[in-house]
Amino acid sequence: MDTHLFTLVHEHFKAVEEKDLDAILKFYHDDINFIDPHYPKVHMKGKKDVFKGLTWSFKMIKKFSFNPINYFENKEGTSASVEYDSIIELYNGKSFQFPQVFIIETINNKISRLQAYEPYGPHGGHKIFLTITRLIHKIMSY
């Protein structure tokens, strides 16, 4: 697939791999909604918030690798979802490999929403509730 949106998504993630903050921000709409549970602030709104988040991640992460698995876009060419095999290498030598899905929406050829989904389970009280419920179901042979 070789559409304008496909190229935009590909070039965006290439800029992330290169940790080129100026190039990355040029892909974003001024009012971007950037949502990713890997960041201290999960939902960042606007380029100023995203700048802070990316600056933090670039200090923590030595290398990003995004290897595409699947790509889908809507017929209008304004929204896409892309699945990556992601590899993150930290400065302390640790490396993590995991699948990620990103939902991308655009306005006027700029990314207006970038939301990451990871295969992690729920956290906090919801995790406790599900753990107890699953235990009960196991005991009751559901």
Q: Which amino acid is at 49?
A: D
pLDDT higher than 90, residue 26 = yes
User: What are the tens digits of pLDDT across the range 34-52?
Assistant: 999 888 888 999 999 999 9
Q: Which amino acid is at 104?
A: I
Q: For residues 100 and 124, give the distance between their C-alpha atoms in angstroms, rounded to a whole number.
A: 21
Helices (DSSP H) in 101-140: which residue ranges?
Answer: 124-139
> Contact 47/25 with Cβ under 8 angstroms?
yes
Assign 25 to helix, strand or coil: helix
- What's the CATH code of the domain at 72? 3.10.450.50
Domain that holds residue 83: 4-139
Instruction: Report the pLDDT value the prediction gives residue 119, as an integer from 0 to 100.
Output: 79
pLDDT higher than 80, residue 3 = yes
Token pair, residue 83, equals 């699945």
Q: For residues 41 and 136, give the distance between their C-alpha atoms in angstroms, rounded to a whole number.
A: 34
End-to-end CA distance of the chain: 44
Total domains present in the chain:
1
Residues 121-125: what's their mean pLDDT?
68
User: What are the tens digits of pLDDT across the range 65-118?
Assistant: 999 999 999 999 999 999 999 999 999 999 999 999 999 999 999 999 999 998
pLDDT higher than 80, residue 137 = no
Q: For residues 19 and 3, give the distance between their C-alpha atoms in angstroms, rounded to a whole number.
A: 24
